[in-house]
A and B are shown apart, each in its own frame.
Chain A
Amino acid sequence: MNRITDFFDRILGSRFWALFIKEVSQILHNRQLLIQLLVPPTVFLTLFGFALNPTFENLRVGITDYSHSRASREFIELFHQTQAFDIRKYYTNEQDMMADLGKGKLTVGITIPPEFDNDLARRRPTTVQALFDAVDANTANVASGYLSQLVSDYNLRRLDIDWRRQGIGTTANNNSTGFTTTNTLARQISPGVTNPALQQNQLPHEKPRVGRLQLQTSVFYNPGLESSWFIVPGTLGIVLTVVGSQAAASLVVREKEAGTIEQLIMTPASSTEVILAKISPLLVLLTFDAVIALIVGRIAFNLPFRGNFLVFLSISILYFFVGISMGILIASYAKSEQQALLTTFFVNPPLVLLSGGNFPILAMPTFMQWLSYLDPMRYFIEVCRGVLLKGVGLEILWPQVVILSIFATILMSLSICQFRRQLT
């Protein structure tokens, strides 16, 4: 009992505690800073979570159908079956469609040739033309991927039907019940059959038929493929870093500009104590921010929290430590508030871009991927996604923790050094 009160006495009586109280009351007096720290992160988190959706749906399709046949309508019907495509307009000639494509009204224009039906009926390969507006290379790429998947599904289905027909045909033949057999065979022995595989299979005794290959896909961690589950943890990292480093920089610089920093040196407190006391209230506020963000994520986006809350909290605090030290380091080099702020403003965008918060790191060129290893935010976002979505703990996230600790130590000692050098 005595030892506990002793412990509290020591903390409460320490210089650090006195400085901490000073910083807290200073921040509490600064209403604008409080608002700055608490409101924008929450607002932007919600906004981005709702708005940013990289999945491509309702890609605008225009169709020129010269064939006007049952087969072509069947083919077009495929586009209705997926969410990915949205047929905007049917054209009577290709020129009109191309003009609309040029104006950016369509993502893809599809031309079905007049001989489509005929070719299919004769088992001749036929060609459908797809024109993409490739100004947006990414969308065009995704659209062309979807489209080839659609066509390949269609082909497989057609081939399947053919196989089955032949299958029925041959069994029917074995059972020697005439009519259907002749019918199917008649349909197959057409002048257009050049396909060796098909021809081969018309011989009943030679059936190198292979079973179908089925893909069973299961999506881990995010079975509904909610894009907000990717965006929100990323934005959490981004927003809190931006806010934290800027607030820290401006707090330190302002004290420098106002000349009150000399008064702080006059106190018996060491520069480490001064800096730590400056950081702690911000740490508390940012942690508070993170918790609010998690609650918002939970309510607005149904974001899961699968991991251990304490693990998340302690790694977050470690990371905020990194972000704040970055701000303080910048501030200790800057001569004016404007310089400090401009520098943080310059440092933040690359950190944001390379972090993988909004854009997958895998999509970057190799060189950028290497650069991203130097970005502490990258590790924090990995931790966020790991704990929130994957529900993993320290046993998997320890490398991130080690790296973040290294960042924290280096940045902190650098800024304390620089601080000391400037003041003495």
Chain B
Amino acid sequence: MSATDVGILALRVLAPVLVILIVLPMLQWVERRGAGLIQDRPGPNRVGPFGLLQPLADVVKFFMKEDLIPSNADRFLYVLAPGLATFAALTTFAVIPYGATLSVRGRAIPLVGADVSIGILYLFALTSLSVYGIVLAGWSSNNKFSLIGGIRSSAQIISYELAMTTAAAGVILAAGSFRLTDVVALQSGSWLSFPYRGWNVVPQLLGFVVFFVSAFAETNRLPFDLPEAEAELVAGYHTEYSAMKFAMFYMAEYINVVVASALMVTLYFGGWSLPGFKPVSVTGVLLSVVIFAVKTAFFVWVFMWVRWTLPRFRYDQLMRLGWKALLPLALLNLFWIAALVLWKAL
């Protein structure tokens, strides 16, 4: 492996991570201005034009705040937890293809961090680990509200992961592969052909709805933000956190939203492909990246839209929805897709 190869690999892996980290503060601005729009109020509008510099001011504020560690906290785990949350969130993006294959000077560069054969399984493995950040934060803070937040989070994420994985199993079945590039390639054909080669959302609408709802629970976003429910638990698992440690939880939440959106786009909405669009030249490949970014941005906006539209669930409602509604629906979707595959319609 030459130095150029190593450089290209590093760029392939780091580019999406850097883009996400740069976009994060802007997402916070979008969320707050969006809240203003939906609730018929201005939102942040004092720092810079349209309040655009507000995220910058917030970042400076996070750095300047006093960094407290409660005296009875478990210091090691208390410091480890926010890092774990951010790490698990950032590494999930490694297997999502964010563009077509770029060919420069006879070199084929697939625009994906690592095209591994167990792509989808890798994603689920890391999402299931992301719960540790929250649970450990809750436990190590030595605060009853934090602890309840952590306990809720562990039960919630396990329950919804089941429905989410079963829904995604439909996609795996249709693609016949765990590889996410295969999943995208299979969705980039014609919508009118038989067997069907268009976006997965059409035959698997039910699976998509289950996946979509579970994604909200997995990312701890409203209406499922029970682990931090401020009306009951002060701030849940991150009650005791301040300064950059709190900011890291905040970042992890936004990264998870971006990754969940990118995953929905990849699994159900054709990834970087559009019907009738063939990326041939370098411009075409760049266009595919733009298409992927626009689709992902749409779902990120939906996450924010829902946050300011729906009230929070009660805990028993959350559990009932996960086990008695979403899981059976995901199984139904799996049977339906299995039947389609059997009839060679997919």
Is B one of A's binding partners?
A: no
B-side residues, CB < 8 A to A, are none
A-side residues, CB < 8 A to B, are none
